[in-house]
Amino acid sequence: MSSRPLLSLLFLAAARCAYADATVPTADIAGAADPAGLGRYAGSLIVDHKVKAFDELALPVSTLEPVGDDKVDRNNNRLFSGKQQLALEGKLSRVVYVLPAGRSPLEVLRNYQQVAAEKGGRSLYECKADTCGGNVESGASHGGSEQGVINYVFPADQINPESFSNAACAVDSGLADLRYGVSTFTAAGADVHVAVLTFTLKDDLYCKALAGRTVAIVATLEAKAREQNMVTVKASELARTIADSGKIALYGIHFDFDKADIKPESAPQLDEIAALLKADASLKLMIVGHTDNQGAAAYNLDLSKHRADAVAATLTSRYGVAVDRLLAQGMGAAAPLASNDSDAGRAKNRRVELVKQ
């Protein structure tokens, strides 16, 4: 008798001992709460809850379509994007609910849309299953196929690390009857966008307890100003650091999400770079763009180069810096300053560097 089947059984047994299978939840996870301004569907329970004081969220508001023929994400899924897409920044909350037995994804979505309407809001977009575009049957960490709406509402790096837990099973099992809707309303003077993704879970091996249950992922983005924690580096400090180290990393140049468009709040840092170049007429700089490792390497390399080009072009057109004093380069995620395994690390890696030529 071959020992391979026995070894496979022992491996599966060990895996199940290391991680607890999903169970029907009986209470919210500790510390969880509904998003501000929203209630919950009666009887639903929270299995995952994440809040960030300031973050970005991209929400498709049209059918997902392929982005080129060779662009893939970090899980080797072909990139899909909506021709119409919201790029939002502010207080971000993601809450994952498991609904009572017998509730449909459509019923749950309609209830959230009703709440937004009662607050004077409106529905911006709605789709179901194949009309959403992309992959509508796989969980958040699927790979080797196509991106789907779930990759926008609940990216794979947000999955609870405890395999086979209720939180992991709810977002990473097979999906059926997917529904997606985006609504907006105003609360306490702030614009609030609500993305609701609902679906029924398929019968996956270690998630059987939740098979057939409807899950609702509710992402809310409350527009608010970013805390100004990154200090603009003055021209004198730029000169000193470049003289000592040959380069300096800057975090005061901001771009639109997933684009190379420079935001207006970048002006103070651009002013200081221009002052540096004016004070030292012999100085030539490489403008080097860097990203984190989210997304495909080739895509990030291209994005970082376009961002560096944008900075160089702005210094030339707005401040009159000679073209031959600037060289734009893109490094993508190839030169991280910190681990990309945490939000803080990824934030440190997203930067523009000035390097002396």
pLDDT in tens, 192-205: 999 999 999 999 88
| Structure tokens belonging to residue 224 | 């608010």
- Percent of the chain clearing pLDDT 90 (strictly above): 71
In a domain, 11, yes or no: no
Render 191-223 in DSSP notation, one character per residue. EEEEEEEEEEEP--TT-GGGTT-EEEEEEEEE-
| 251 lies in the same domain as 339 | yes
User: Please, is 283 exposed, middle or buried when counting C-beta atoms within 10 Å of its C-beta (0-12, 13-18, 19+)?
Assistant: middle
For the chain, what is the mean pLDDT?
Answer: 89
**pLDDT at residue number 231:** 67
How many C-alpha atoms does 266 have within 13 Å on its Cβ side? 22
- Considering the domain architecture, whether residues 125 and 253 belong to the same structural domain is answered as no
Angle between helices 267-279 and 297-319 (to 10 degrees): 60
Q: What is the pLDDT of residue 230?
A: 54
Report pLDDT for 15.
42
Q: Is the pLDDT of residue 228 over 60?
A: no
How much is the average pLDDT of 279-304?
93
**Domains contained in the chain, number:** 2
The two counts, helices (H) then strands (E), for the chain are 8, 12
Strand boundaries in 99-165, DSSP class E: 122-128
**Quick one: pLDDT at residue 229?**
52
Lowest average pLDDT, out of 74-78, 82-86, 325-329, 340-344, goes to 340-344
Within a domain: 14? no
| 97-to-25, 44, 284 alpha-carbon distances in Å | 10, 6, 55
Together in a domain, 161 and 310: no
Same domain (yes/no): 54, 86: yes
Within this chain, do residues 194 and 290 fall inside the same structural domain, yes or no?
A: no
From its phi and psi, is residue 35 left (phi > 0), alpha (psi between -120 and 50) or beta? Answer: beta
> Looking at the structure, do residues 195 and 250 belong to the same domain, yes or no?
no
What residue numbers bound the domain in which 340 lies? 235-356
What is the structure's pLDDT at 16?
A: 44
Confidence of residue 147 (pLDDT cuts 50, 70, 90): very high
Q: Report if residue 268 sits inside a domain.
A: yes
Please give the backbone phi and psi of residue 200, each rounded to the nearest 5 degrees, phi first. -100, 135
Query: Across the chain, where does the E strand assignment appear?
Result: 45-60, 64-66, 80-82, 85-98, 122-128, 175-187, 190-201, 214-222, 247-250, 285-290, 326-332, 351-356
CA dist., res. 92 & res. 85, Å (int): 17
The whole-number pLDDT of residue 8 equals 42
Q: Output the pLDDT for position 232.
A: 86
State residue 341's pLDDT score.
81
Give the predicted TM-score (pTM) of the model. Answer: 0.64
The two most distant CA atoms of the chain are separated, in Å, by 81
Residue 230 lies in a domain: no
Instruction: Assess whether pLDDT exceeds 80 at residue 39.
Output: yes
Query: Region 112-118: what's the mean pLDDT?
Result: 95
Q: Is the pLDDT of residue 134 over 60?
A: yes
Q: Which of 135, 136, 204, 137 is nearest to 166 (CA)?
A: 204
